[in-house]
Amino acid sequence: MKKTSLLIAGLAAAPASASTISITIPRLDVAEYHRPYVAAWLEPAAGGDARTLAVWYDVKKGGAEPGTKWLHDLRSWWRKGGRSLKLPADGVSGATRAPGTHKVALPADLKAGQYTLYVEAARETGGREIISIPLTVPAKAAAASGKTELGAITISR
Amino acid sequence: MRIKSLLLAAVALATAATPAMAHRQWLLPSATIFSGTDAWVTVDGAASNDLFFPDHQPLRLDGVKAWAPDGTEAKIENGATGRHRSMFDVKLDKPGTWKIGTAQESVSGTFKVDGVEWRVGGRRGPPPPPGAPAQPNSVAGIADVPANATDLQITQSASRNEIYVTTGEPTDTIFQPTNKGLEMVPVTHPSELVADEPARFKFLVDGKPAANLKISVLPGGKRYRDDDGLIEVVTGADGVAQVNWSQAGMFWLNTTYSDDKPTIPRATARRLSFTTTLEVMAP
């Protein structure tokens, strides 16, 4: 699993100087644990369309109840842009991640300016949490931390 | 004295014949926002005092219709009626916003023939058993009112009860007004409602903005609090009302409008009502 995520991060990273976001999924001691659905997206601080950086869901689950059925549980992301995204999306969608820290590269074509980074997590039979951090491009280091469904979120240049 | 009591009787009848006043008619969708490729909404329908607890009468399913996002009529499936509640499913097999609901029309009131008072339209309640004698001095519909009738006090009633559910991206086609009767055209899309954001809805009567219309908005779940939580707002000159939500959850919205401009011959008054159930998401 870790190998896969490293591989995805490696593929998505463009130039060596590209900035990355680290998203920590906490290990939870609960009776019924399912890996959370997670979405990360950017909104221009001055307003404008959201740009999804990553959405981790049950990509492979098909049949009568495909993995996309619960995407709307990421309710803010779904409203801000998820519902207009054609999934699976190259370089954006991926499988759910295990507890641990996962890296997402900022797109190389991101215009300089002020943004807000949002990270939202929703867990089957569990809770939901959303975190936002101001993000500047070119990126400066920043961090925030969730309380329940998300751990540390850091931006590194 | 006599005139006064007759007037009172007419008013009482007109009131009794309109849809249950005390009991609120409601439709409750399992959700209003769907994702994925195989979405189904399951809907409960009933009339009861407290929202959304079925404890009085089930919704009659024969008038329920559904419209796909392109405006074509869709199928109501798996309908069933229980003691207090009906349920049915709609398969949301096209992306966009769907409309599901009922539009009922009725006529009620009184008239006189040779000084004797007659009634139009039946009372509320179960239909009479087969073979039961016709009610005295009563006709079924406005077409049966004789030509020599006088003192017509006949109310045309029309009520809409609609819900909106969206799979994928929201669309607006099903909000295209018919410009007949009382209608709601959302300014804020019903699939974009969030507890900390005010929502705006426009109300039309015969396609024109309905000003000074009182809109009642009630959250479900009264059993779990003391206050009924009623939110009352009034439309402006543009027919638009703004609702500031008190919480996230399912809300019942209702408004009524009366005038003396019925659209059917020989009716003397008109009473219109509009009802919807809206889902407000947590921020």
- How far B32 CA sits from the closest chain A CA (Å)? 11
Higher-pLDDT residue of B131, B93: B93
Interchain CB distance below 8 Å, B33 and A78: yes
Structure confidence at residue B91 as a pLDDT band (50, 70, 90):
very high
Chain A: residue nearest B38 by CA?
A64
Give pLDDT tens digits for B114-139: 999 999 986 555 566 677 666 678 88
Question: Out of A9-23, A87-101, B209-223, which region has the weakest mean confidence (pLDDT)?
Answer: A9-23
* Nearest beta carbon to residue A83 from set B38, B169, B282: B169
Q: Which residues pair with A114 in a beta bridge?
A: A136
Chain A: residue nearest B281 by CA?
A75
- Which phi and psi angles does A12 have, rounded to 5°? -75, -30
Mean pLDDT of B79-99: 97
Q: What pLDDT, on the 0 to 100 scale, is given for residue A80?
A: 95
Q: Which residues pair with B106 in a beta bridge?
A: B157
Contact B149, B120 (CB under 8 A): no
Chain A hits for B36, CB-CB cut-off 8 Å, are: 65-71
- Please check the confidence at residue B12 and state whether its pLDDT lies above 60: no
Interface residues of B toward A, Cβ cutoff 8 Å, are: 33-39, 168-170, 192, 194, 281-283
Structure confidence at residue A139 as a pLDDT band (50, 70, 90):
confident
Q: What pLDDT, on the 0 to 100 scale, is given for residue B232?
A: 98
Chain B hits for A76, CB-CB cut-off 8 Å, are: 283
- Please check the confidence at residue B1 and state whether its pLDDT lies above 60: no
Interchain CB distance below 8 Å, B35 and A64: no
Mean pLDDT of chain B: 90
Chain A hits for B39, CB-CB cut-off 8 Å, are: 69
Give pLDDT tens digits for A24-54: 999 999 999 999 999 999 999 999 999 999 9
Give pLDDT tens digits for B31-44: 999 999 889 999 99
- Please check the confidence at residue B20 and state whether its pLDDT lies above 70: no
Chain A hits for B281, CB-CB cut-off 8 Å, are: 75, 79
* Residue type present at position B37: T
Question: Out of A18-22, B54-58, B189-193, which region has the weakest mean confidence (pLDDT)?
Answer: A18-22
Q: What pLDDT, on the 0 to 100 scale, is given for residue A63?
A: 85
Interchain CB distance below 8 Å, B35 and A72: yes
Q: What pLDDT, on the 0 to 100 scale, is given for residue B141?
A: 87
Contact B177, B207 (CB under 8 A): yes
* Nearest beta carbon to residue B37 from set A66, A76, A84: A66
Mean pLDDT of B175-193: 97
- Please check the confidence at residue A157 and state whether its pLDDT lies above 90: no
Chain A hits for B168, CB-CB cut-off 8 Å, are: 83
Structure confidence at residue B2 as a pLDDT band (50, 70, 90):
very low
Contact A137, A53 (CB under 8 A): no
With a pLDDT cut of 70, the percent of chain B lying above it is: 88
Higher-pLDDT residue of A133, B124: A133
- Please check the confidence at residue A138 and state whether its pLDDT lies above 60: yes
The rounded distance, in Å, linking the Cα atoms of B235 and B246 is 19
Contact B233, B253 (CB under 8 A): no
Q: What pLDDT, on the 0 to 100 scale, is given for residue B9?
A: 42
- Please check the confidence at residue B89 and state whether its pLDDT lies above 60: yes
Pairs across A and B, CB distance < 8 A: 36
Q: Is residue B144 left, alpha or beta, with left meaning phi > 0 and alpha meaning psi from -120 to 50? A: alpha
Q: Is residue B56 left, alpha or beta, with left meaning phi > 0 and alpha meaning psi from -120 to 50? A: alpha
Alpha helices in chain A (DSSP H): 2-12, 75-80
Q: What pLDDT, on the 0 to 100 scale, is given for residue B176?
A: 97
- Please check the confidence at residue A1 and state whether its pLDDT lies above 60: no
Tokens of B257: 């409008």
SS3 A131: strand
* Residue type present at position B100: I
Mean pLDDT of A115-133: 96
Q: What pLDDT, on the 0 to 100 scale, is given for residue B37?
A: 85
Closest alpha carbon to B120 in B16, B190, B212, B274:
B16
A34-60 burial, b for 16+ CB within 10 Å, e for fewer?
ebbbbbbbbbeeeeeebbbbbbbbbbe
Chain B hits for A79, CB-CB cut-off 8 Å, are: 192, 194, 281
Give pLDDT tens digits for B201-254: 999 999 999 999 999 999 999 999 999 999 999 999 999 999 999 999 999 999
* Residue type present at position B277: T
User: What is the sign, positive or negative, of the torsion defined by CA atoms of A103, A108, A112, A116?
Assistant: negative
Interface residues of A toward B, Cβ cutoff 8 Å, are: 64-72, 75-76, 78-79, 82-84
Interchain CB distance below 8 Å, B33 and A72: yes
Interchain CB distance below 8 Å, A69 and B169: no
- Residue length of chain A: 157
Chain A hits for B37, CB-CB cut-off 8 Å, are: 66, 68
Mean pLDDT of A84-109: 94
Chain A: residue nearest B282 by CA?
A75
Q: What pLDDT, on the 0 to 100 scale, is given for residue A18?
A: 65
* Nearest beta carbon to residue A66 from set B34, B36, B192: B36
